[in-house]
C-alpha cells in the first residue's frame, strides 16, 4: 500500500494520539484537584449519563459521603462543591470511553474495507487491548482509595500513567510509519550511533514518566520546594530511612523526588549533546528541525518542572508539566523515526 493510501489510517491514529494526550492532561487535573475518588462505581455503559435531577445528585453525593475521603478529608463538602470534583472525574471517564469508540469503529471500517495491511492488524488489535487494560487499571487504581486510606495506591497510579504513555507511543509510532515514504537501511556507523542514542534517550524519558508517577502518587512535589538543592542538600540525609532499603525508591519523598530530578539533569545535558550531534550528521532537514524542537521542548519542560516544584504544584502548572512530558516524548519518537528513514540522494525532505 502506498503512502497516499495509508494516509487516512495514519490521520486516524494521529487523532487517537491527540485524544490520549487530552485525557492525560485531564487526568492530571483530576488528580491535582483530588477528584478521582468522587465517582465510586464503575459503570462503563450507564456511567456515560451524569445525574440529571436533584434526586440523582443526592443519591450520587450520598454514595460519596460513605467513602473514607469524605469522612476523613471532605466531611464539610457541600453538594455544589462535590459537583466540581465530580465533573473532572466524569469527563476523564467519558473521554476514555470516547477514545475507545473513536479507535474501534474506524479500525473495523478500515479493516473490513481492506485499507489496513495484514501485518498491521495484530499491532492495532494490541493497542485496543492495551486501551481496555488501561480502563480496567483506572478502576483498579480508584478502588485502592475507596477502602481505608483516602489515597489511591501510588503503584497503581504509576501503572495507569505509564500505560497511557505506552498507548500513545504505540499509536504515534505506527502513524509515523504509515506517513513515511519507504527508506533504506543505513550502514553509516555515525548514523547508527545516533539511532542508538535516540533509543536510550527514549528509555530515559520512560524513566522520567515512571519516576514522575511516583512523585505524583506520594505527593513528593509538595516537599523540598527549592532548587537546585533540596532544602540545602544535594541528596537529603533522610533519603534512606525506610527499611528495607529498596522501599525508599518508591515510598520516600526525598529519594523519589531526587530520582526524578536526576533524570531531568541527565536530559538537560544529553538532549543538547544529541542535538549537536544531529546538526553535524548527514540527516534529513526534517530531522534537524525536529531535533531543534526537541531541544526547545525539553528546556521548556524542565522549566515547567522547576516552576511547578517551587510553587508547590499548582494545578495549572502540574497539568502542563504532565502534558509537556508527552510533547517531549512525541518529538523524540518523531526524531527517532526520521533517523531511521534514510533516503536516497535527491529524495531528502
Q: Are residues 207 and 314 in the same domain?
A: yes
Q: Are residues 55 and 163 in the same domain?
A: yes
* 74-78, 128-132, 186-190, 231-235: segment of lowest average pLDDT: 186-190
Q: Are residues 284 and 319 in the same domain?
A: yes
Last residue of a domain, one of 119, 152, 179: 179
Q: What is the pLDDT of residue 1?
A: 55
Task: Give the pLDDT confidence of 3-27 residue by residue, as tens digits.
Answer: 567 899 999 999 999 999 999 999 9
Cell of 324: 509537556
Q: What is the pLDDT of residue 32?
A: 94
Task: Give the pLDDT confidence of 57-104 residue by residue, as tens digits.
Answer: 999 999 999 999 999 999 999 999 999 999 999 999 999 999 999 999
Residues with Cβ within 8 Å of 335's Cβ and at least 6 positions away in sequence, in order, are 198, 278, 287, 290, 291, 294
Handedness of CA 185, 190, 194, 199 (dihedral sign): positive
Torsion angle of the four alpha carbons 133, 165, 122, 138, in this order, in degrees rounded to the nearest 10: 10
* 72-81, 146-155, 321-330: segment of lowest average pLDDT: 146-155
Task: List the beta bridge partners of residue 184.
Answer: 342
Q: Are residues 106 and 252 in the same domain?
A: no
Q: Are residues 207 and 104 in the same domain?
A: no
- Total domains in the chain come to 2
Last residue of a domain, one of 179, 205, 221: 179
Handedness of CA 267, 290, 321, 202 (dihedral sign): negative
Q: Are residues 120 and 242 in the same domain?
A: no
Task: Give the pLDDT confidence of 263-319 residue by residue, as tens digits.
Answer: 999 999 999 999 999 998 888 899 999 999 999 999 999 999 999 999 999 999 999
- Supply the pTM of this predicted model: 0.92
Q: Are residues 151 and 240 in the same domain?
A: no
Task: Give the pLDDT confidence of 91-113 residue by residue, as tens digits.
Answer: 999 999 999 999 999 999 999 99
Q: Domain range holding 73? A: 1-179
DSSP state string for 80-136: HHHHHHHHHHHHHHHHHHHHHHHHHHHHHHHHHTT-S-TTHHHHHHHHHHHHHHHHH
Q: What is the pLDDT of residue 345?
A: 43
Last residue of a domain, one of 139, 161, 179: 179
Q: Are residues 111 and 234 in the same domain?
A: no
Q: What is the pLDDT of residue 344?
A: 42
Contact between 83 and 10 under an 8 Å Cβ cutoff? The reply is: no
Q: Are residues 6 and 62 in the same domain?
A: yes
Task: List the beta bridge partners of residue 342.
Answer: 184
Q: Are residues 144 and 27 in the same domain?
A: yes
Helix 154-179 with 189-217: angle, nearest 10 deg: 150
Predicted confidence (pLDDT) at residue 187 exceeds the cutoff of 70: no
Amino acid at each position: 500500500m502506498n503512502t497516499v493510501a495509508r494516509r487516512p489510517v495514519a490521520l486516524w491514529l494521529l487523532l487517537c494520539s491527540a485524544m490520549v494526550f487530552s485525557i492525560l492532561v485531564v487526568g492530571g487535573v483530576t488528580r491535582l484537584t483530588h477528584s478521582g475518588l468522587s465517582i465510586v462505581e464503575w459503570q462503563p455503559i450507564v456511567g456515560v449519563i451524569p445525574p440529571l435531577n436533584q434526586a440523582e445528585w443526592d443519591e450520587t453525593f450520598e454514595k460519596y459521603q460513605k467513602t473514607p475521603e469524605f469522612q476523613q478529608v471532605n466531611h464539610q463538602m457541600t453538594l455544589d462543591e462535590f459537583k466540581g470534583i465530580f465533573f473532572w472525574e466524569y469527563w476523564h471517564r467519558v473521554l476514555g470511553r470516547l477514545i475507545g469508540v473513536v479507535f474501534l469503529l474506524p479500525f473495523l471500517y478500515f479493516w473490513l474495507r481492506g485499507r489496513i495491511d495484514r501485518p498491521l492488524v495484530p499491532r492495532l488489535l494490541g493497542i485496543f487491548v492495551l486501551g481496555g487494560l488501561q480502563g480496567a487499571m483506572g478502576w483498579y487504581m480508584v478502588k485502592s482509595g475507596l477502602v481505608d486510606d483516602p489515597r489511591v495506591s501510588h503503584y497503581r497510579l504509576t501503572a495507569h500513567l505509564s500505560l497511557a504513555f505506552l498507548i500513545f507511543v504505540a499509536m504515534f509510532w505506527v502513524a509515523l510509519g504509515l506517513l513515511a515514504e519507504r527508506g533504506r537501511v543505513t550502514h553509516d556507523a555515525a548514523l547508527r550511533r545516533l539511532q542508538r542514542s535516540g533509543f536510550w534517550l527514549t528509555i530515559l524519558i520512560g524513566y522520567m514518566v515512571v519516576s514522575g508517577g511516583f512523585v505524583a502518587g506520594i505527593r513528593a512535589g509538595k516537599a523540598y520546594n527549592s532548587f537546585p538543592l533540596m532544602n540545602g542538600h544535594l541528596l537529603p540525609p533522610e533519603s534512606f530511612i525506610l527499611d528495607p532499603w529498596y522501599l525508599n525508591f518508591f515510598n520516600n519523598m526525598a529519594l523519589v523526588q531526587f530520582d526524578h530530578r536526576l533524570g531531568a539533569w541527565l536530559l538537560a545535558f544529553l538532549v543538547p549533546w544529541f542535538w549537536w550531534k544531529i546538526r553535524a550528521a548527514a540527516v534529513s532537514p526534517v530531522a534537524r528541525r525536529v531535533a531543534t524542537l526537541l531541544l526547545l521542548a525539553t528546556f521548556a519542560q524542565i522549566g515547567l518542572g522547576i516552576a511547578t516544584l517551587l510553587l508547590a504544584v499548582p494545578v495549572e502548572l502540574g497539568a502542563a508539566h504532565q502534558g509537556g512530558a508527552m510533547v517531549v516524548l512525541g518529538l523524540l519518537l518523531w526524531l527517532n523515526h526520521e533517523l531511521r528513514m534514510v533516503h536516497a540522494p535527491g529524495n531528502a525532505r
